């Protein structure tokens, strides 16, 4: 009978319920909070958002830049910031929605996600995240409508 082998890889030893990508996102959030505190609450996080967008892969960057342009057009009153290292848009300090690049968690598509501060309620069940692969005029129109509804 063969002896049992034990896993000796670093990931097996250090697994604590979070992936490396999730731990990195939490570290980014901690940095964001420290940075915001140091700058003061009135500071605009748009420069941080644009810096994160610039770091993205070409495909994700095109999507993030397109969403940012739509936000500026449709809801210029929202505050641009980063949230767990992702571009996000807030009102009164609460994140309304965010863009998660495909590369962020090694997914096959990017995501446009909405938090509970978004007014998307529709009965007893409604979507709060949308897969995003390309920005066509039709997709842009749907995103504009979602942003308008979320910020109504």
Q: How far is CA 96 from the centre of its chain?
A: 11
**pLDDT, position 4:** 46
pLDDT of residue 9: 45
Q: Report residue 47 CA to chain centroid gap.
A: 16
Quick check: 92 and 80 in contact, CB under 8 A?
no
Residue 59: CB partners within 8 Å, gap ≥ 6?
102, 110
- The encoded tokens of residue 83 equal 């949230």
pLDDT value of residue 8: 43
In this structure, what token pair is assigned to residue 67? 């969403």
pLDDT in tens, 19-70: 887 888 788 777 776 776 666 654 568 999 999 999 999 999 999 999 999 9
């Amino acid at each position: 009978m063969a002896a049992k082998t034990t896993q000796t890889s670093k990931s097996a030893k250090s697994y604590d319920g979070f992936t490396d990508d999730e731990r990195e996102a939490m570290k980014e959030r901690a940095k964001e909070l420290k940075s915001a505190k140091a700058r003061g609450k009135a500071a605009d996080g748009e420069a941080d958002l644009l810096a994160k967008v610039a770091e993205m892969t070409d495909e994700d960057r095109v999507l993030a830049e397109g969403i940012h342009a739509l936000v500026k057009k449709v809801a210029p009153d929202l505050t641009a910031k980063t949230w767990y290292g992702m571009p996000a848009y807030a009102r009164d300090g609460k994140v309304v929605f965010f863009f998660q690049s495909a590369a962020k968690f090694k997914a096959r598509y990017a995501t446009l996600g909405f938090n509970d501060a978004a007014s998307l309620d529709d009965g007893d069940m409604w979507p709060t995240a949308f897969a995003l692969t390309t920005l066509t005029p039709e997709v842009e129109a749907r995103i504009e409508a979602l942003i308008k509804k979320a910020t109504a």
